[in-house]
Amino acid sequence: MPNYSPLRFKNRIFYAMVAAGGLVVLTGLYAAHMMEEHGHIITGMNNQIVWGIPHVFAIFMIIAASGVLNIASIGSVFGKAVYKGRAPLAGMLSIALLAGGLSVLMLDLGRPDRIIVAATKFNPTSVFAWNILLYSGLFTFVALYMWTLLERRMNYWIKPVGLVVFTWRIILTSGTGLIFAFLVARQAYDSAILPPMFLVMSFGWGLAVFHVVQSAMYTWNRKIQDPVILNRMKNLLGIFVLGALYLVAVYHLTNLYFAKQTAFEHFILKDGGIYPWLFWAGYVVLGSLLPLLLIFHPSLGRTRYIVVASMLVILGAFALLYVFIIGGQAFPLSMFPGYEVSSSFGDGQIGIYHPSLPELLLGFGGIGIAFLITTIGVRVIDSLLPYDKSHVTAASATD
């Protein structure tokens, strides 16, 4: 029987993962090339729905990139010792997710080379221009933060730099929410509750991604997570999921209170075809209630159930963003309340959208970028693996 060393086994897994991630990225780049070559006619987007499924992927990764830093902030800024060892991994995940999300965002918009104009000619009246500064600032501050974490002589600066990162990510997530809150040309948006709602959602989505990645890392290295720390983190995930569910409920209840938004809410929650199904079954049941059951049920609070709960939270996030972004564009703007509007341009009609294969491939390409950065980063920087004093190898645990 051949004798495979653990290092050789890890090498094989590593190169297989890099190859798989690289293939996904290349497929996404090919999809972007096809969309650039043939135009958006090969996508499901049209004049009414201009942000499709790639934007769902991009916005999720950008929000999660901010939220995953919550783990680092709890340790560095608020002094919770059990989270300090997880700060480097949180920083790496933030950079990876933000890179993947922005790549999808730029390749989906068409003419990605025009970013040079936006970067060199700043428009202070545009919230999109603000976000260029916020995204590049987050890259810079997180890189500096990781330097303070990984370089012993820089440890003195961990807390002040961590405080800057904490403040910056709060502003960044609020800025992402403001993109929609300032958009008065859609019935679904133009609401002051969107920035805090995005902020709370980022906490839960980022922590869910962290749970999945951390579990994979521990399995890869044949380690078992400290049950005390795992219990604290899964309870924190439950609180964030509850908080996001509450704010989403407030958002829709507020809309129902205003007569001008009643038709939109009926469309999203009841009569809109795929959108009510995604909202109630995808986000509320599978993405919120079922994870809460897995998290807080006394006999289900083990590692595998927490990973399942985290994956359900991620799927629920995609369902909610699909409803919010695409459903919000599909419903026509009420330009003249009390009157029916129609024209040859489709005014007053429900928008039709069916995601195309190139759009899906582009979205998964962004996830592939984040996957590659994380996989290679974990391989190159050993200290990214969270270390708990009480953790043991999986082999010794079964002896």
Q: What does the pLDDT look like over 21-71, one tens digit per residue? A: 999 999 999 999 998 888 888 888 888 888 999 999 999 999 999 999 988
The two three-digit tokens of residue 333, written as one number: 């703007």
Residue-wise pLDDT tens digits, 31-44: 999 988 888 888 88
CA distance 40 to 8: 46
Backbone φ, ψ for residue 338 (5° rounding): 90, -10
Mean pLDDT of the chain: 85
Residue with tokens 């709370």: 200
**Percent of the chain clearing pLDDT 90 (strictly above):** 47
Segments in the chain forming alpha helices (H)? 6-38, 53-67, 69-76, 81-84, 87-109, 115-120, 127-150, 158-181, 194-220, 227-257, 262-266, 274-277, 290-296, 303-321, 328-330, 357-380, 394-397
Q: Which residues, other chains included, contact 135 with Cβ-Cβ below 8 Å and sequence gap of 6+?
A: 62, 98, 102, 172
- The residue type found at 353 is Y
Residue 319 pLDDT: 96
Using alpha carbons, list the distances in angstroms from residue 113 to 27, 30, 41, 71. 20, 17, 20, 35
Residue 65 pLDDT: 95
Of 48 and 373, more confident: 373
Residue 388 pLDDT: 62
CA distance 211 to 217: 10
The two three-digit tokens of residue 60, written as one number: 């999720």
Superfamily of domain 13-335+347-387: Formate dehydrogenase/DMSO reductase domain (1.20.1630.10)
CA distance 270 to 262: 11
pTM, full prediction: 0.90
Report the pLDDT averaged over residues 341-367.
83
**Percent of the chain clearing pLDDT 70 (strictly above):** 88
Report the pLDDT averaged over residues 192-218.
92
- Domain residue extents for the chain: 13-335+347-387
How many alpha carbons fall within 13 Å on the CB side of residue 359? 20
Neighbours of 96 (CB within 10 A): 25
